[in-house]
Amino acid sequence: MAQLLSGTEIAKEIRLQLQHYVQEVVKTRPEFKPGLVVVQVGDREDSNVYIRMKGKAANDVGLNFEHVKLPSSSTQREVLDVIDRLNEDPDVHGMIVQLPMESSHPIDAHVVTNAINPAKDVDGLTSVNAGRLARQDMEGCMLPCTPRGCLELIQRTGLPIEGKSAVVIGRSKIVGAPMSDLLRSQNATVTMCHSRTQNLKSVAATADILVVAIGRPEMVKGDWVKPGAVVIDCGINSIPDDTKKSGKRLVGDVDFNEVKEVAGWLTPVPGGVGPMTVAMLIKNTVDAAIKGLEKEEVGQWRMEFLPLALKTPVPSDIDIAKSQQPKNIAILASEVGLLNSEVELYGKKKAKVTLDALKRLKDRPNGKYVVVTGITPTPLGEGKSTTTIGLCQALGAHLKKNVFACVRQPSQGPTFGIKGGAAGGGYSQVIPMEEFNLHLTGDIHAITAANNLLAAAIEARMFHESTQSDEALWKRLVPAKKGKKSFCPIQLTRLQNLGIAKTNPDDLTPEEIKKFVRLDIDPSTITWQRVMDTNDRFLRKITIGQGPLEKGHTRETQFDISVASEIMAVLALTTGLADMRERLGKMVVASDKEGNPVSADDLGVSGALAVLMKDAIKPTLMQTLEGTPVFVHAGPFANIAHGNSSILADMIALKLVGEDGYAVTEAGFGADIGMEKFFDIKCRYSGLVPNAVVLVATVRALKMHGGGPKVVAGVPLPSEYVQENTELVEKGCCNLKKQIENARKYGVAVVVCINAFDTDTDSELKTVQSIARESGAFDAIISRHWAEGGNGAVSLAAAVEKACKESSQFKFLYDLELPIEQKIETIAKEIYGADGIELLPEAQQRIELFKKQGFNDLPICMAKTHLSLSHDPNLKGTPSGFTLPIRDARASVGAGFIYPLVGQMSTMPGLPTRPCFYEIDVDPVTEEVLGLS
């Protein structure tokens, strides 16, 4: 008499084990929740029964179960759209399409099932999974549920499968064929039979293991079975039975009563294979979720690095960039662990990364956070961007660490003007450098459009208020639709700001209507300017409103360069779309005639600004010359704003690299500006804690600080800068010492990178190295990344790695609650070395207004020259005994800072006599960009 293999009991045991396993995982990973989705087309009752059974089993184990029921009118395209959506949903780990599909339109079941992501194909029906199983490629193969359940039943007998004779009757793609492959994987000798097999009975009788899935009721009789064999009956057939109330009963493909007298083990029908199929569906889903969890446990990326063909002398930046063929950006995105749904391709070389990545990775530990800054630079710059890229190439391509570089997007103005591009330089660049330096993905254009829409809204509102009565304004601002007035959401926000707790327009009094419709902007207080991304000195002051239809409403104003817009600063400091929308609404553009702030929300335009910015909020993914990943995002003006790339890029990078990886971000200008703002503004809003500072210094800049001749962009360097002069270097190291001291005030380890030039001598370089270490730097490394790429920065990368292991004692320089004047004075004394500050009358007046308007507790963003620690660009080294003059103060309320003006700040650069655009052209045959530098 055969022993019964009760699928019902074994499946129950498996479900309990899975339930316990899920509960144990949740204890350490609370976010773990395997998700199973069943897609059904039509409303077949038998399908509904199966789906309910699957849903109950999933819920019992602790899975998220979803039943997507599509109408019978669904087309194949509509079904495929649903599958595509579920493929991209990280919360869905398993997906099945319930067959047969019942639709009034033709649907190819093969096409539909093959559209499922093989990693989520918990039915194991895709060609990918079937092919892997057929080729015995079990790694990553999703096993079909019924064959896997059958194998589990066979293994429960204790009978060794290896070397045994196995016969499978039936060759269906769902059961027979994969069952044969699965038994082969266990080293059984397998014979597959079907309805046309000759001598089927005698072949079946040779089987130690007999699996029947032929779809014919009770076909296999007792004399077909080898005594003691394991018999697995996969059939389920309905036959007439007058003794049953329904008039029918379920039987298998095996004559149970006969075979039980011969077989050693036998599955009943029902209660045999059926429950096991459901149990294996749940197990496959849990397994898929675990694999997804393992992917979240970041190890070393499997990344293809790009080799460099170094040349001496080092060619031009664009020649180097053109000599390197970038990886397809989709491949790079996959290498760093981004999902297809999180990547929006802009061609083959750059892509936007959606904020869904940050949401998915929110529970992953951050990597190490490194900021690159510099000593007070010459007008030529000392290579912070180049160092950032070279360091990341060294960490990634040479030390095999997960690393992201996060840099600002350059403005086109300087690219065509005097500065040139900002993609790094030499063999440490972002590529393609021409795309990096030009339009990229259009973020600056979006900022320009949003900024100028707000400027237009200001002028239009003042014009209409001056030419219309309260009644006319009310009628137009709150028009009646079908005889009924209603406020739009942004108007309700204005009512709240005014303290009017009413939502029905008919309830407002005449006084409240007047307050609502009239902003009463004082034109003399308008701080919002128009912008464009071109260096045009003749737009620094303009007169608007000279057309005949403007009725004499002329006003003096100006253009700034686009990166100086507060919207750019908002983009850089935002932490999400909702936060950006709120910040845009808070932007103060002027004061009314009573001294109250007027915001973008008051103008009703902030929602539209958010729409224009909804794509710009996504960081752009690019790569270095050696194939390591780069985020390019935001580019706030480093004088009047904080001059750092975006918080969002840093946050996503820190998650992607994992706990043992590195996100290296760059702060604009010298440490007294970019680094201080990085710590006191950016880190406040991000909540991120830095692990190390890389402070870039050059012999050239130190000679300047030691008393060397003036350095002028576009003019050959004086001889002092190309000949050895260690005395000049030693004197200039006072600036290096001060910037090391500044960094250490924040409790962060400082690694000095001595960016070596060909004209530097060993004696000069070692002098800087020695003084830096004596002055409190964690280490000081001579780096040659410009000429050698990542290999030239390996020692720097190793030092940074060690510095990041130091315990960070990070702290801010000042408390936000201090009075604005005291915060300004703290920065002036502690960071610049001033004796104190002098508030000029206009600045004092503005600061008092900001306090009155409720803006005292914002951080300070000093707007001063980057060419000196002081306010005077001619004072090099470490100036002392000076008082810092504050001539004015402005508020970027949306971005979230007050910026005092120290001296004159030009927010619209001009073009030199011979701009960079003289060299820039396009090859009409190859379409390659020429002459960028």
Here the tokens at position 209 are 């293991």
Residues in contact with 527: Cβ distance below 8 Å, sequence separation at least 6, in sequence order? 588, 589, 590, 890, 891
List, by residue number, the catalytic residues: 54
Here the tokens at position 97 are 């399409």
Distance CA 590, CA 606 (A): 15
Please list, residue by residue across 620-659, b when 16 or more beta carbons sit within 10 angstroms of its beta carbon and e when fewer do.
Answer: bbbbbbbbbbbbbbbbbbbbbbbbbbbbbbbbbbbbbbbe
Locus of tokens 């330089």: 425
The answer to whether the CB of 782 falls within 8 A of the CB of 761 is no
Distance CA 130, CA 135 (A): 9
| Angle of the 794-803 helix axis to the 384-393 helix axis, nearest 10 | 90
- Is the peptide bond prior to 819 cis by the omega test (within 30 degrees of 0)? no
Residues in contact with 801: Cβ distance below 8 Å, sequence separation at least 6, in sequence order? 395, 399, 401, 662
Q: Which helix (H) or strand (E) holds 705?
A: helix 699-705
Residue 116 phi, psi dihedral angles, 5° rounding: -70, 135
How many Å separate Cα 314 from the centre of its chain?
34
List Cα–Cα distances, 129 to 123, 142, 143, 289, 482, in angstroms. Answer: 9, 6, 7, 17, 59
Residue 780 phi, psi dihedral angles, 5° rounding: -135, 125
Compute the radius of gyration of the chain from its Cα atoms.
35
Residues in contact with 436: Cβ distance below 8 Å, sequence separation at least 6, in sequence order? 409, 410, 421, 422, 423, 430, 622, 632
Distance CA 405, CA 403 (A): 7
DSSP category for residue 158: T
DSSP category for residue 310: -
How many CA atoms does the CB half-sphere of 129 hold within 13 Å? 25
Residues in contact with 751: Cβ distance below 8 Å, sequence separation at least 6, in sequence order? 692, 693, 694, 695, 777, 778, 779, 780, 781, 796, 799, 800, 803
Locus of tokens 């050959």: 716
How many Å separate Cα 788 from the centre of its chain?
30
The answer to whether the CB of 502 falls within 8 A of the CB of 512 is yes
Count of beta carbons in the 10 Å neighbourhood of residue 712: 12
Sign of CA dihedral 366, 367, 368, 370: negative
The answer to whether the CB of 123 falls within 8 A of the CB of 114 is no
Beta strand extents in 680-835 (DSSP E only)? 692-697, 749-755, 779-783
State how beta strands 480-481 and 749-755 pair.
unpaired
Count of beta carbons in the 10 Å neighbourhood of residue 849: 16
Sign of CA dihedral 146, 150, 155, 157: positive
Q: Which helix (H) or strand (E) holds 802?
A: helix 794-803
The answer to whether the CB of 774 falls within 8 A of the CB of 734 is no
The answer to whether the CB of 841 falls within 8 A of the CB of 828 is no
Residues in contact with 659: Cβ distance below 8 Å, sequence separation at least 6, in sequence order? 298, 364, 365, 366, 367
- Is the peptide bond prior to 432 cis by the omega test (within 30 degrees of 0)? yes
List Cα–Cα distances, 302 to 208, 270, 331, 332, in angstroms. Answer: 45, 48, 11, 10
How many Å separate Cα 115 from the centre of its chain?
27
